[in-house]
Structure 1
Amino acid sequence: MSELKKMITSFKKDGYKPVYFLMGEEPYFIDFLSDHFTNNVISEEEKSFNQVVLYGKDVSVNDIMSQARQYPFMGDKMLVVIKEAQELVKTIDQFSSYFKSVQPSTILVFCYKYKTLDKRKELYKTLSKSEFAEIFESNKLKDYQVEGWIKTLISDEKLEIEPKAVAMLVEFLGNDLSKISNEIDKLKIILKNDTLITADLVEENIGISKEYNNFELINAVAYKNEAKAFGIAKYFALNTKNNPFVVTTSLLYNFFSKLLQYHGMIYKNAGANPADIAKQLGINQYGLKDYQVASKIYPMKKVSQSIAVIREIDLKGKGVNGSLTHDDLLKELLIKVLR
């Protein structure tokens, strides 16, 4: 998000370059920038004749260059946006020839999703060296970065969010930034004059159970709350579609793996700063207390055994060494981990 802000600040300070190549695995940031161009470069009065949106599957590279070399009609700038530009992957290198005669009054934006240009080829080298072009590489966020991104997004909207609500969004929506952004937009409408997004609000309007989710299951395991853990397991067994077993095992494995790391950090440096530990574990400080409590309940040996159990049950869930129901698998896992 910080790179996006820097880029948009540069637009306001230095103006726009003739060519922008937006590429990478994360479509959200590419869409964000594309929307900025279409909403801000050309005035509403001029959009019908000075703003053009093309699609990679419908045009050739020569068509794009021909369009880009036209002059704006009764205005200073023309904006040409190429959506789904990755459809031109086989011929995109031909665009290098455009830099022999760049049209300075055109702003040409390529939205090249899910892929990146080959950095060994001429086009990438031309784009990266040209004063007329800028490349933006949109990388997927790491899982541990998503919570921070949500908080930044909320803060930019002049809103606040409860830590539990953040955890629920991440647990339910994963790292699908577009989906998270859309859900937050819905919550903004519901909030009206309020500014705090609560766990209750998320539960009521996004369909995430505040009490029965993987976030709460891991919390129950961390604090060795058997009644709560088995209650959640029973709910999951009745709602398998929304609570896939593989997701639960993956998150439990991730928790115990980080708990093992936590033990190692504390063993090596008992006086380590909590903020540094949280950063190394890839979690926020709010979640660190679960590891502090769990480390006293689960010694390092028990943690290693639990990781082995999760691997074993995960294989059973995939049909190796027998076939058990979702309910039986999760019960067996919890019994072996909690007792």
Structure 2
Amino acid sequence: MAKSLITDREIISQIQKGQFKPIYLLMGDESYYIDRISEYIASKALTKEEQDFNQTIIYCTRETSVSDIINSARRYPMMAKFQVVIVKEAQNLLKLEDLLIYVKEPLMTTILVICYKNGSIDRRKKIIPAIENTGVVFESNRLKEGMLPDFITGYLRRKQIAIDSRACLMMAENVGSDLNRLAGELDKLALVLPNGQTQITPEMIEEHVGISKEFNLNELRDAIVRKDLKKTNKIIFYFDQNPKTNPPQRTLSTLFSIFTSTMLAWYAPERTESGLMAQLDYRDSWRLRNVKTSMQNYSALKTMQIIGKIRETDAKLKGINKGNLTDSDIMHELIYFITH
């Protein structure tokens, strides 16, 4: 029977209790959790003084030998309870399966952390159940866009900092799903909070992150769902003047998200607040506001046509049937189609 997937919070909780496993395989497309867990293990298993003699970091290339990793893992700690061996970029190893000989009989005084990024090992490989028998296999998947607000509020909550809903959406939609960058920006905001203030505001984000509180993806989405043509055109013109910070692909992603949510809402079995939240898998009712407004201004048929136009626009931005049109021309054509 397959083991249930463990979460990053469960791993962190075990480590906080001093419960270490001899092997951790951290793999997946989202590097943020892989880095966070590996760094946390290193900081909690050893003191700074112990790390000098008992921490080994191996950066893998195509030439890295698995036998070197095994030899490092089989060393005994010096004046410490554990030694920690962190294997970074393990996806570059040509013969990862050769680790099986160690995985089957790991040294209990070694904590071997294998960081495998940009993908996951096929779970049918023998090494996966072998590690699960003695250690932990963690799969780090990219967060869907709709999960970013929860990540932001949760990340700040652990720092005992709040963020208002508008500011949260500004960060989610304009910084995007690169969690390392997102966490870095949140850390920066936490550092510049004035004494006595515990909430991050849109004004702070505009000043310290460089996202305009008037001309950003959050405001564009609000204007689009309200069919506010004047505000929509102002924002699109601003994006034209600042293409590096407002690339068309990011705008397209935001539009696709709101209209696919609108389409799902149109076909919800129940269009009550609880029914829509269940259909859209929302935890917070305030997130329904734009979906409800969108349903008032866009029929199910128009919504379906818009989604088709967004897909067509995506193809044009990639060069398919683009002709002599600029990216700006293509985006203005899409916005006109949506709002008329």
Fold equivalence (TM over 0.5): yes
What residue is the counterpart of 2:224 in the other structure?
A: 221
Deviations, residues 57-115 of structure 1 (Å, cap 9, x unaligned): 27421111111111111222211111222221x21111111145432211111111123
Q: TM-score, normalization: structure 2?
A: 0.89
Give the Cα separation in 1 of the matches to 2:249 and 2:260: 16
Counterpart mapping for 1:165-314 below 5 A? 165-193=167-195, 194-265=197-268, 268-270=269-271, 272=272, 274-283=273-282, 284-314=284-314
Compared CA separation, residues 192 and 50, structure 1 to 2 (3 A) = farther
Alpha carbons of structure 1 residues 299 and 38: separation in structure 2 relative to 1, 3 Å: same
Distance (Å, rounded) in 2 between the aligned partners of 1:11 and 1:85: 22
Q: In 1, Cα distance between the equivalents of 2:314 and 2:55?
A: 53
Identity %: 34
| Aligned with residue 28 of structure 2, among 24, 29, 36 | 24
Tell me by how many angstroms 1:29 deviates: 0.5
Deviation at 1:275, TM superposition (A): 4.1
Q: CA RMSD in A?
A: 2.2
Q: Distance in 2 between matches of 1:52 and 1:121?
A: 26
Code of the aligned partner of 2:118:
Y
Distance 2:90 2:312 in 1: 44
Q: Secondary structure at the match of 1:45?
A: helix
| Partner in structure 2 of residue 164 of structure 1 | 166
Amino acid corresponding to residue 289 of structure 1 in structure 2: R
Q: Can you give the 5+ residue segments of structure 2 that lack an aligned partner in the other structure?
A: 1-5
Question: Residue 17 and residue 275 in structure 1: after superposition, are their counterparts in 2 closer, same or farther (change >3 A)?
Answer: same
- 1:256-283, Cα deviation, whole Å (9 max, x unpaired): 2221222222xx424x3x2441342245
Does residue 53 of structure 1 match 2:54? no
Give the equivalent residue in structure 2 for 1:91: 95
Q: State which of 76, 79, 104 in structure 2 corresponds to 1:74.
A: 79
Bigger CA drift: 102-111 or 315-324?
315-324
Q: Displacement of 1:203 after TM fit?
A: 1.2
**Counterpart residue type for residue 278 of structure 1:** M
Contact in 2 for aligned 1:234/1:327 (Cα 8 Å): no
Question: SS at 1:170's partner residue?
Answer: helix
Query: Which residue of 2 is the match for residue 10 of structure 1?
Result: 14
Give me the TM-score of the superposition, normalised by structure 1.
0.89
Matches of 2:104 and 2:294, distance apart in 1: 63
Name the aligned partner's letter for residue 137 of structure 1.
Answer: E
Distance 1:123 1:312, change over 3 A: closer
Measure how far apart 1:299 and its partner are.
2.4
Counterpart CA distance in 1 for 2:77 and 2:20 is: 15
Cα offsets for 1:190-229 (capped at 9, x unmatched): 1142211111111111111111122211211111111101
1:117 match: secondary structure: coil
Q: Distance in 1 between matches of 2:311 and 2:73?
A: 55
- 2:129 pairs, out of 125, 128, 133, with 125
SS of structure 1 residue aligned to 2:48: coil
Higher percent of residues as helix? 1
> C-alpha distance in 2, partners of 1:8/1:256?
37
- Provide the rounded CA distance (Å) in 1 between the counterparts of 2:82 and 2:313: 61
CA distance in 2, matches of 1:56, 1:336: 50
Alignment length, in residue pairs? 331
Q: Does residue 41 in structure 1 map to residue 45 in structure 2?
A: yes
Partner of 1:330: 331
Q: Is the 8 A contact 1:160 1:197 kept in 2?
A: yes
Unaligned 5+ segments in structure 1 are none
Q: CA deviation at 1:44?
A: 1.8
C-alpha contact 2:173 2:254 (8 A) present in aligned 1: no
Q: Give the Å deviation of 1:26.
A: 1.1
In structure 2, relative to structure 1, the CA distance for the partners of 1:120 and 1:312 (3 Å cut) is closer
Q: Distance in 2 between matches of 1:75 and 1:210?
A: 52
Aligned counterpart, 2:3: none
Deviations 1:269-322 (A, max 9, x none): 24x3x2441342245422211221222222223323433444454455445163
